[in-house]
Amino acid sequence: MAVPDLVRPGYPTGLGARGPNQTVARRRCVWGRLGMGALMAAYVIAWGVGGLLVSGPTDLDVFFVPAARIALMGAPLKVYSPRYGGIWPNANGPLSLIPLTGVAAIARVLGWLDDPARLHLLVMSAFAVFSLLLAWEGVAAVDRLRGSPVPGIWRVLTFGVFTLSPVLWHGVLFYGHIELPIAFWLTLFSVRALAEGRPARAGLGLGLGILTRSMVVIYLIALVMFLLVRWRWRAALVLAAVAVASAGLGLLPFYLADKSDLLYSLVVFRGQLLVGGGSIWGLFLGTPLEALGQHADSIFILAAVALVSAGVGLARRDLSPAGRDLYGLLALCGLCFPLLIKTLWPYYFLDPYLFIAIWWLGQAGGWRRPARWLGAALVLFFVACEGLAEADAEVTTVTVLRLHLTQSITAAVLTFMLVFGGWLVIARRGKLGTTARTAAPADTAAPASVG
């Protein structure tokens, strides 16, 4: 929360000087901070209550907690050995297991480790902190793009767009994917670092993000390709090298201690999964293309991300790493994942939702501009996609209903990518009613807003 200027004309500013306006400003600052603190405490409590009320096992119970139990038993490098049903491993990076193991240790002391409801209460309360960090980074991005902090009650509402995201709550609370806010927080940190001309710091953030959630690699590819087509070879090399090195060093101890389980969890197992519904591959069930989707969906995703990023980067020569439309580009790249993954889950729409929210809220001007309301509609679009994906996930057999849901989701995602991507390509400075301040040089930390 921005601290008000306490110095007012006409009042002494020396040490110990106090004018009436200073006193009022200080009181407002104190009450403002107390109010934000109360809201954050209520937010953490809400997550804890939600965890207490959720019934039925989630991925938290069948993947994450068993791995944390292994770590508590003194074998932290064997966390990839548990397999649900003897087949399903924990296919996520190990970073989120560090705070989870700490929470599990507290639960063991309290005697709650074997009580799912109370364990959920502890875990969700603790990991709510990462949702707040995600929101803080998101609002910081909005402030930078606007050129000034979001004022007053609008700042609270801006935080709410991130902290109260239905896609975030659904993915963490009902699917148990506690790594989601950590991964996106680190991704936003990396984008900010790159905008400030610090590719090494950005690479470290993305490397840690990959150690949290493997799909973060698509943003590494997107940003590297964007830098390459802008002939920023050094920044691209530093970004990629630091990210790969940090992710590799993070996985190395697990590789040396338990190579077979690590490779099975993060690499081999994916190839054994069958094509499900929701994505474009669900339209090819029972055809020769089904096998292509089953074994090569990751290749198609990475190739699509590289093409989208390079294409927009070449078409938009005015686009800067510090610009607002970079978040729109990352939203497009993030959509390549739910479009081309062989099995779609609702929380795959979280990243596009959050990127589009920053793109929407980071534009200059008031709410009288039509673009403001268009951005709000785009955010709601991803909530609707998440709802369709949940409906598809509830259908466990190949039926006409599932085919229709898959067709609807695929058509919606493709339409968005074509329309928004086309707009992103042609929306240069001064055209289509967009506003832009003078863009900063690519290697400086000054904010720029284009698009």
Which positions ≥6 away from 100 have C-beta within 8 Å? 64, 65, 67, 68, 123, 127, 178
Confidence (pLDDT) at 86: 80
Answer whether 294's CB lies under 8 Å from 274's CB.
yes
- Residue 432 reports pLDDT greater than 90: no
CA distance 182 to 131: 7
Confidence (pLDDT) at 307: 96
The more confidently predicted of residues 177 and 448 is 177
The more confidently predicted of residues 376 and 448 is 376
The more confidently predicted of residues 25 and 392 is 392
CA-based radius of gyration for the chain:
23
CA distance 120 to 99: 14
Confidence (pLDDT) at 435: 38
CA distance 203 to 72: 31
CA distance 278 to 165: 21
Distances (CA, A) of 143 to 1, 132, 152, 183, 364: 11, 16, 13, 21, 10
Confidence (pLDDT) at 365: 66
Q: Which residues pair with 88 in a beta bridge?
A: 84
- Residue 129 reports pLDDT greater than 90: yes
- Residue 4 reports pLDDT greater than 50: no
Under the banding of pLDDT at 50, 70 and 90, the label for residue 109 is very high
Mean pLDDT value of segment 302-312 = 95
Considering the chain, what percentage of its residues have pLDDT values greater than 90? Answer: 62
How many CA atoms lie within 13 Å of 282's alpha carbon, on the beta-carbon side?
30
Under the banding of pLDDT at 50, 70 and 90, the label for residue 274 is confident
Under the banding of pLDDT at 50, 70 and 90, the label for residue 405 is confident
For 277, the token pair is: 């519904």
Q: Which residues pair with 89 in a beta bridge?
A: 83
Answer whether 65's CB lies under 8 Å from 104's CB.
yes
Mean pLDDT value of segment 363-383 = 79
Distances (CA, A) of 244 to 94, 210, 221, 238, 285: 15, 9, 11, 10, 35
How many of the other CB atoms lie within 10 Å of CB of 300? 18
For 182, the token pair is: 């950590």
Q: Which residue has the tokens 């800067």?
A: 320
- Residue 420 reports pLDDT greater than 50: yes
CA distance 336 to 313: 17
Answer whether 224's CB lies under 8 Å from 240's CB.
yes
For 111, the token pair is: 């005697």
Average pLDDT of the residues of the chain: 86
DSSP codes of every residue in 134-169: HHHHHHHHHHHHHTSPPPHHHHHHHHHHHHT-HHHH
Under the banding of pLDDT at 50, 70 and 90, the label for residue 419 is very high
Of 130, 131, 115, 127, the residue nearest 61 (C-alpha): 115
Mean pLDDT value of segment 407-432 = 82
Under the banding of pLDDT at 50, 70 and 90, the label for residue 398 is low
Q: Among 94-98, 135-139, 237-241, 285-289, where is mean pLDDT lowest?
A: 285-289
Residue type, 187: T
Q: What angle do CA 117, 121, 123 make, to 5 degrees?
A: 115
Answer whether 428's CB lies under 8 Å from 316's CB.
yes
Confidence (pLDDT) at 382: 94
Q: Which residue has the tokens 């109360």?
A: 38
Confidence (pLDDT) at 317: 86
Under the banding of pLDDT at 50, 70 and 90, the label for residue 436 is very low
Under the banding of pLDDT at 50, 70 and 90, the label for residue 371 is low
CA distance 350 to 383: 9
Q: What is the pLDDT of residues 231-256, one digit of tens each?
A: 899 999 999 999 999 999 999 999 99
- Residue 440 reports pLDDT greater than 50: no
Q: Angle formed by the axes of helices 325-340 and 350-361, to 10°? A: 160
Q: What is the pLDDT of residues 70-100, one digit of tens each?
A: 999 999 999 999 988 888 899 999 999 999 9
Which positions ≥6 away from 312 have C-beta within 8 Å? 226, 319, 329, 332, 421, 424, 425
Q: What is the pLDDT of residues 377-391, one digit of tens each?
A: 889 999 999 999 998
Confidence (pLDDT) at 20: 59
With the C-alpha atoms ordered 178, 244, 303, 448, is the resulting torsion angle positive or negative?
positive
Considering the chain, what percentage of its residues have pLDDT values greater than 70? Answer: 85
Q: Which residues pair with 84 in a beta bridge?
A: 88
Confidence (pLDDT) at 305: 97
Q: What is the pLDDT of residues 253-271, one digit of tens each?
A: 999 999 999 999 998 888 8
Confidence (pLDDT) at 128: 96
Residue 83 φ then ψ, to 5°: -135, 125
- Residue 223 reports pLDDT greater than 50: yes
Mean pLDDT value of segment 29-51 = 85
Of 267, 271, 334, 344, the residue nearest 302 (C-alpha): 334
**Would you report the helix, strand and coil content of the chain in percent, each value rounded to 5?**
70, 0, 30
Confidence (pLDDT) at 14: 43
Confidence (pLDDT) at 355: 96
Confidence (pLDDT) at 449: 32
CA distance 197 to 93: 28
CA distance 451 to 449: 7
How many of the other CB atoms lie within 10 Å of CB of 238? 18
